[in-house]
Structure 1
Amino acid sequence: MVDAADRVRLLRCSFAAAPGGRLLVVGPRTPVTGLSVEACRPTGIGDGTHGIELVDVDGARIADSVFLQLRGATTARAVRVAATSSGVVLEGNDLTGLSSPGEVTDLAGDTVARDNRGA
């Protein structure tokens, strides 16, 4: 979880959830600004969960990351952008490790998604 932070950068890291848990949740209680997640590997994404959840974020870039679902999962998702987030860019990510349609849940009005494989 990332909360109440400014200019957080995650670079070339891997993260996985405990069984039934969530992976990376950003801004669940206090807004986060300037998040960057680059060349990371969210793995073990389970059914009904997202690899990255942007709850309250102002300016985020998720790029060149590889999302992998938990073995046997059928409804795992890559990214959830809540309506309270803005300025989100999703680019160059590999979503082919997810079998469900609609890998990105976008509830914000200004999210930019481009060059994502498997989307």
Structure 2
Amino acid sequence: MASQNGIVFEDFFPAMVEKLGAEGFMKELSNGFQLLVDEDKGLITFESLKKNSALLGLQDMSDDEVKCMVREGDLDGDGALNEMEFCTLMFRLSPGLMMNSTEWLVEAIISEM
């Protein structure tokens, strides 16, 4: 799958959800957020994403590409990603997750009851 900025990555998310279930997958997304977060701000910033991009195999990203990723996920306009924005961005970048998101939402709601 290619993102808008030309970086290509394989979409493993649907297989992860199938293996881990909705709750397990959300925990993994949360763990991913923690790997990239600026510990002082509690958000993923341009600086924290640039610093930790090698953890994603994206160490060759340009500053403009990193800024674009943050901008693409920044729903509240504060220039950084909170955990909800990060998870939303990950879903948006995965066509397989978007196609099955309703099914997983129902599964998550049922598991909470």
- Return the TM-score normalized by structure 2: 0.26
Greater relative contact order (Cα 8 A, min sep 6): structure 1 or 2?
2
Larger radius of gyration: 2
Structure having the larger proportion of residues in helix? 2
User: Which structure: greater strand fraction?
Assistant: 1
